[in-house]
Amino acid sequence: MSLIKRQKGKNFSDNEISLLIDVVSKFIVIVENKKTDGSTVKDKNDCWQRIADEFNASALEASRSAGQLKTYYDNFKRKTRKQNADDKAEFYKTGGGSFTKNLGPCGERLISMLKEQFRPDDNAFDSISQYHTMEPAPIDIKETIHDANDKMSVAIENPVDCIDNQTDNQAVICTDTPVDIIEG
């Protein structure tokens, strides 16, 4: 029996990860089907082959097999779950204050596609069950002002309850757009 050493493939670039998430999103119902009977497994294998064909038609860097894409997707999903849990723990560790987010934009897109898989089951006997389901308070915007440089300033009711990543009176409010906070 001869042992052939497997050659390491090229790492996935950020563009390839984004492309993979885009392509998988079209087939998400089949890919994330939890059934394991013969016909479902055949459908999933056919689906991964279609994903590979579509991915390779659009990819600029390297050609990937269906098996490579499936393995990377499963590993990326696992990594995203871990980063999401770490971010949530860090957020509560700082008391809701500022912290550095580990989750990237592709991970956030994956979470938005698979919301139900990232939400833990309800447990009436868990004293901190609300920890997992707490949503940020809604933002009550009083006034939005754009200056000559198209910089946006926002006056809000309660800035402490609704702002993530607060730094030096700037914040990110539900978008990646930096705004000045005017307490009103």
Q: What is the pLDDT of residues 12-21, one digit of tens each?
A: 999 999 999 9
- How many CA atoms lie less than 13 Å away from 32 in the CB half-sphere? 17
User: Which pLDDT belongs to residue 164?
Assistant: 42
pLDDT bin (cut points 50, 70, 90) of residue 65 is: very high
Per-domain residue ranges of the chain: 14-118, 136-183
Q: What is the pLDDT of residues 118-177, one digit of tens each?
A: 776 677 776 655 555 555 444 555 555 555 655 555 555 444 443 444 444 444 344 444
User: Which pLDDT belongs to residue 2?
Assistant: 65
* 50-60 average pLDDT score: 93
- 164 exposure class (CB count in 10 Å sphere: 0-12, 13-18, 19+): middle
Residue whose C-alpha is closest to residue 31's, from 104, 133, 40: 40
Report the share of the chain in percent with pLDDT over 70: 64
Report the alpha-carbon distance of residue 116 to residue 89 in Å, rounded.
19
Find the range with the poorest average confidence among 36-40, 110-114, 118-122, 137-141: 137-141
Side chain identity at 135, as an amino acid letter?
A: E
Q: What angle do CA 77, 83, 86 make, to 5 degrees?
A: 145
User: Which pLDDT belongs to residue 110?
Assistant: 92
Mean pLDDT of the chain: 76
Residue whose C-alpha is closest to residue 19's, from 48, 45, 56: 56
pTM flag (> 0.75): no
